[in-house]
Amino acid sequence: MDNFSNIRFGSRREGIFYKLNKKEYELWSTYVNGIRINIDDLTETDLNENQKTKIFTEIIQFIKIKDNEKPIICYNSDGKDAKLWQKLTAIFSSEIKNVEISTVEENNINLYKMMSEDLKTGLAEINIRGLKIKTVKDLDKHWNKIKFVKVGESNETVSFWDKLKAKLN
């Protein structure tokens, strides 16, 4: 199979878009020591297990043909599809360069560290969910509104007043 008219890379090859039944699904991807695909992006969708399996296998084939390399598959072990991803990465292990498994907590630690390091330079401003974050103090204040959450949990709401204050600052 080499007809992948239903799959495309996003701009600068970041993100992979897969069209199924007239609906397009986006998987976060980037290139760091190989193409990394966050397969968890399929978890909170209306897709069933067979559809997720089809997308998983076709994206691996697409990358192998388009980039002549094996992808790195990334997912959270505390996600609701973790067992499916574990099964599929085992089945297709010869087609995958590596598997990186993390947790929501580990992802939050890394996100916070990266964002706070950028903010400490004084040269960065982070705009996320309608909030302008200019300092580590701002990051701490809004952390519970922007951090990753487990399935079934939710962030604190970003209120109209939060957004208005961010625009005025």
Residue 1 has pLDDT above 50, yes or no: no
Is the same domain home to 110 and 137? yes
Predicted confidence at residue 151, as pLDDT, reads: 66
Is the same domain home to 70 and 126? no
Average pLDDT rounded to a whole number, residues 139-151? 87
Q: Which one has a higher pLDDT value, 110 or 148?
A: 110
Is the same domain home to 16 and 68? yes
> Residue 16 is inside which H or E element, if any?
strand 16-20
Task: Please give the residue range of the domain that contains residue 143.
Answer: 105-168
Is the same domain home to 112 and 69? no
Distances (CA, A) of 136 to 17, 114, 115: 34, 11, 8
Is the same domain home to 98 and 112? no
Is the same domain home to 120 and 78? no
Distance CA 111, CA 114 (A): 5
Predicted confidence at residue 49, as pLDDT, reads: 96
Residue 168 has pLDDT above 70, yes or no: yes
Structure letter (DSSP) for residue 26: E
Average pLDDT rounded to a whole number, residues 69-79? 94
Chain mean pLDDT for the chain:
89
> What is the per-residue pLDDT across 88-122, written as a single tens digit (0 to 9) for each?
999 999 999 999 999 989 989 999 999 999 999 99
Q: What is the per-residue DSSP string for 51-81?
A: HHHHHHHHHHHHHHHHHSSPPEEEEETTSTT
| Structural domains of the chain, count | 2
Predicted confidence at residue 152, as pLDDT, reads: 65
Residue 1 lies in a domain: no
Residue 96 lies in a domain: yes
